[in-house]
Amino acid sequence: MGLLNSKPQWQVSSIPDLTGRVAIVTGGNTGLGFVTVRELARKGADVYMLCRQESRALAAIEKIKSELGPDIKSKIEYIKFDLQNLKLATKAAQDFIERETRLDILVNNAGIMATPYELSPDGIEVQAFPLLPILKQTAAMPDSHVRIVNVTSNGYRFASGPDFSTLEKLNQKTWTTWGRYGLSKLSNILFTNELQKRLIESGQQIYSTELIRGPLQSWPFLSPLAYVTSLLLLSPEEGALTQLYAATAPEVEEKDLKAALLFPIAQLTQKNALAEDKERKLGMQFWDLCEKLVKEKA
């Protein structure tokens, strides 16, 4: 079912031929990630599915191959990736670099939604750069169209009073469930802003795109409403369109949508003041904290 009164303007049939290009999709074994892997592979890209559970990933890959049929020439492979463990995340990047010499599309799709308070093994609230060289290398190649797509959601508007100065500030348990979720989605946008500014000369294009599992963990009494809620939400096929648009559509370069915030379906959306971060205070603060944690934990 689609969002009420939603009329998709862009479809998977609009994806150009991706033969020869290489993509990574995190969290690609289910939902939006699954659809993204399938449609990139359908158009000829070699796709790496990065997720935690090998059995689920391999089953998803087999399902995609079955759906695409025997004539599919794309390579679809699995690499173990745990977003909550920086060492394992770094190893996943290294595993990829050992297998490939280019990376055209990186879709950071993996994530969770409004779960109860929890810290990762690295001591980081779970919602809260080894691939950059190969991305830059690919961007320097003839006829390259390197894209980095970070999945966020309109829930970033729940964020208020963000402080990314220290890990302790980031992990404040005083935030509500939706407040923590909002901060995590805001941080995705801030990271996108900052990364694009730092890569402005390299040719990469970075975008944030919009995303009911987490809320039901936080508030089990909402379970009876899950079906009704699902009728108002986009299906995975519809929901994946925006990130596929950002990852593949030629017009995003023609329109110069660098660091754009795109919401369903493939619509440019105005950021609020926090996400716009015109003075780069929050973005640089968040970037510095990320660099510090990667050095310490990875």
pLDDT of 233 reads: 59
Q: Report whether the peptide linkage leading into residue 265 is cis, meaning its omega lies within 30 degrees of zero.
A: yes
3-state secondary structure 209-237: EECCCHHHHHCHHHHHHHHHHHHHCCCHH
Residue 199: band (very low, low, confident or very high) from pLDDT cuts 50, 70, 90: confident
Give the number of other CB atoms < 10 A from CB of residue 231: 10
Q: Which of 48, 78, 181, 207 is catalytic?
A: 181
What average pLDDT does the segment 258-267 reach? 87
Residue 226 pLDDT greater than 80, yes or no: no
Helix (H) or strand (E) holding 133: helix 132-139
Residue 232: band (very low, low, confident or very high) from pLDDT cuts 50, 70, 90: very low
For the chain, the structural domain boundaries read: 16-297
pLDDT of 250 reads: 92
Residue 213 pLDDT greater than 70, yes or no: no
What architecture does CATH give domain 16-297?
A: 3-Layer(aba) Sandwich (3.40)
User: Across-strand partners of 70?
Assistant: none
Residue 181 among the catalytic residues: yes
For the chain, what is the mean pLDDT?
80
Residue 181 pLDDT greater than 90, yes or no: no
Residue 140: band (very low, low, confident or very high) from pLDDT cuts 50, 70, 90: confident
Are residues 28 and 36 in contact, defined by beta-carbon separation less than 8 angstroms? yes
For residue range 82-134, what is the model confidence (pLDDT) as tens digits?
877 888 888 999 999 999 999 999 998 876 444 455 555 555 544 446 888 89
Residue 277: band (very low, low, confident or very high) from pLDDT cuts 50, 70, 90: very high
